[in-house]
Amino acid sequence: MIFCFYGNGQTNPKLLIIIGTTKSRADSIIEEGFKLKKKRNRGIYFGIYFTTRRKIALGYAKSRAKREFDSPAVIMCSVNLSDYNQHEWQGNEVLVFRYDHIDNSIIKRITVVSDSI
């Protein structure tokens, strides 16, 4: 976790997080931000899932890309946890945000993964 310190001594927690998706979905995220497409009845499935580990995001991206006949993409983001405080950890590596929308301003880098990786 990265903490940004201000002159008044307060900290602002920022975290680098990653999401695995497809190239076409990444293009949509660039334009519209992260949007929750479906809500399910059980609260455990509601949210936008990120991870702190590139390997987990890459595995999800490859799996989804194969199902959708697309290229895998990995999006790295920097999120201020105080701006998005409705979140919970699922284990040590997966973070679920309980929002319908997260702004695209948190995006730092998008990588479209080649099929050979």
pLDDT value of residue 2: 38
| Tens-digit pLDDT profile for residues 29-79 | 999 999 887 655 554 557 888 999 999 999 999 999 999 999 999 999 998
Residue whose C-alpha is closest to residue 117's, from 61, 52, 77, 69: 61
Most confident of 3-7, 19-23, 46-50: 19-23
Question: What is d(CA 56, CA 95) in angstroms, rounded to the nearest whole number?
Answer: 12
What tens digit of pLDDT does each residue of 70-109 get?
Answer: 999 999 999 888 888 888 888 888 888 888 889 999 989 8
pTM: 0.79
Residue 71, φ and ψ in degrees, nearest 5: -95, 145
With beta carbons less than 8 A apart as the criterion, state whether 81 and 52 touch: no
* Structural domains of the chain, ranges and CATH numbers in brackets: 2-112 (3.20.170.30)
